[in-house]
Amino acid sequence: MSFALKLKELRETKGYTQRDLAKRLNVSVSSVGMWESTSQIPTAKKLIEIASLFNVSVDTLLDVSDITTEEYSSGLRATKKVSITPIEEDMLEVFRKIGEKDGEERQRLLISMAEGMLKG
């Protein structure tokens, strides 16, 4: 069974709407829709969150029983490249540098500033 079908099945079994799942995972409803329509696979980090939410393994989500380790690894690398935009990569790089230079407190300050921009 594909990831898209497995995710939809797990979501419906729990009685979640796409909106419910999106809120629980802190993603947009459109992301959940894309995951369920097979047009996109979540990042490795999100896959772990989804697996935890539904109390299944990532292998179960991805149905990796029939694929090789090499196919599995290359698929996760490709997912990471697809799910983050170039500007997001730039922002992440700057964010990490701030953490290395000034620590987590400064990173949290940056997050607060960005959240303030969303509100105002």
Q: pLDDT-derived band of residue 32, with 50, 70 and 90 as boundaries?
A: very high
For residue 9, the Cα-to-chain-centroid distance in whole angstroms is 18
Q: Is the pLDDT of residue 39 over 80?
A: no
Per the CB < 8 A criterion, the answer to whether 34 and 72 are in contact is no
Say whether pLDDT at 77 is over 70: no
pLDDT of amino acid 59: 84
Q: Please state which architecture CATH assigns to domain 3-83.
A: Orthogonal Bundle (1.10)
For 80-95, b where at least 16 C-beta lie within 10 A, e where not — what string? eeebeeeeeeeeeeee
- pLDDT on residue 21: 94
Average pLDDT, the chain: 82
Q: Is the pLDDT of residue 57 over 80?
A: yes
Domain segments of the chain as ranges: 3-83, 86-119
